[in-house]
Chain A
Amino acid sequence: MACKTLPAAMSLIQRADARIKLLSTAGFSIVVACTKNLEAAVLALGISLCMVILAGPPARQLLSRTATVNLFILAIWCITPFTTPGHAMINIWVFNPSREGIMQALFITLRCNAILFVNLALLSTSNPFSLAYALLALRVHPKLVHLFFFSWRYLHVLNKEYERAQALLKTRGFDPKTDLHTYKTYAYLVGILLIKGYDRANRVYDAMLCRGFDGTFRSSRRLHLEGRDMILGTIMFILIAVLAGMEWIMDPC
């Protein structure tokens, strides 16, 4: 399964403080998602592209993830230009895409990819531990953070169970088809996964109680901002402010 974060190479962005990365991703995503200004959207895509190059994820992963997200965008390009009312740009037989529809599809493409690249550069280069501590430091409800942390921690364990069950089905000659037997088998597989998760959770919790767990997580690691984190944070803050400013100055509403 491809559900691993990007490998921890030593680029500047990857080593940065998770709180700065989270806040930057959130600020950037919100401003870009709201933008109705073409120059701002193009600039945002440019910035995010630079960041993803600086963060340096492996090219194959980058390409496959970009391709998956853009499949849906492709569907939008096939439909939206023809269903949005407005002035026809060109007339080719019965196809007369409207200017408004093309602009909407273009905006969606720019915004979607800009946010995708920032997620790849900042969010996917953090590990679960540092993200969980960052979330706690940012005052997210501890119960939600613990839920997030445990789910991530045991995802691979349950995926192993799933792979084992799949191998078992294969050795017994299971051949998935569109029939009741197939769906029943998959339903039992879902049930088995749930049982494995449930039992594992009880064992994990008992083990935690034995070690004196009282509902809070303690860490010997202190989060502290270094000079380069402050630089990254400042740069991101300025860029987000510029994007928001472009929106406000060019299209005052």
Chain B
Amino acid sequence: MTAPSTPVAKNAIELSDVTLRYATKNGQIEAVRGVSLSFAPGEFVAIVGPSGCGKSTILKLVSGLMTPAVGTATVGGVAPRPTGQVGIAFQNPSLLLWRTVLQNVLLPLEVSPAHKAAYRKDPAPFVARARRMLAAVGLGGFEDKHPWELSGGMQQRANVVRALIHQPSILLLDEPFGALDAFTREELWLALQALWMGARPTVLLVTHDLREAALLADTIYVMSPRPGQITLRREVELPRPRTLEGTFTPEFSEIVRELREHIGGVRTRIRAEELMEVAS
């Protein structure tokens, strides 16, 4: 890797010609092929695509959990490594069942190299922040419950709070609102937008909800099925803050339609007639 000549913001992300492979029982599977992405610091980027197109793999690459087979990936000018500057929320809430909601949310502060010393010295302000954030997503009063006492949607909200608790400069979200009901999801979109406009982390949102991508992102990449390749790069120039009313405008619909078109051609073929025949 060549050293960058100019100082790079620590939350700038650069993927150039990245190919990723998974080793499975049936040999290697190419998850992503020849993907190049560039995030400006503080940019909100969404990757949309059908299931199994390697969207989540890109997220693992940026977080340093995987390394590319071919090509280079850099975060802040260097190879991605887990530094604790990243906030991450997977689709599966993956809360720890033996911890209360509050303890789950505080987990990043216990392990992130950037925060654990301060947290250990004086946890009180962090706990206060966690409680406020939980209350802000409607989980006030549930701090001392265990995850299994919460509904799926509540778990997912706690999961999002856990990703945000240490004020990360990079936020990686893998379909974080998938299990929420449509209305709660819309409210969380706006909450995420407000948060992003305040702290301006670089955000990578992986989703298959095109409205979600169009509402939140500055730039949207469409990926093809495996091996995932970028088939469209679409900048969204709608003014901020974007509102739910804005999603009903022709401009917004046009963006969603364009995205849909690029996914439409490559989706899983489902033979409705055959399905009906077999089912009846």
The finding on whether chains A and B are genuine partners in a shared complex, rather than unrelated, reads no
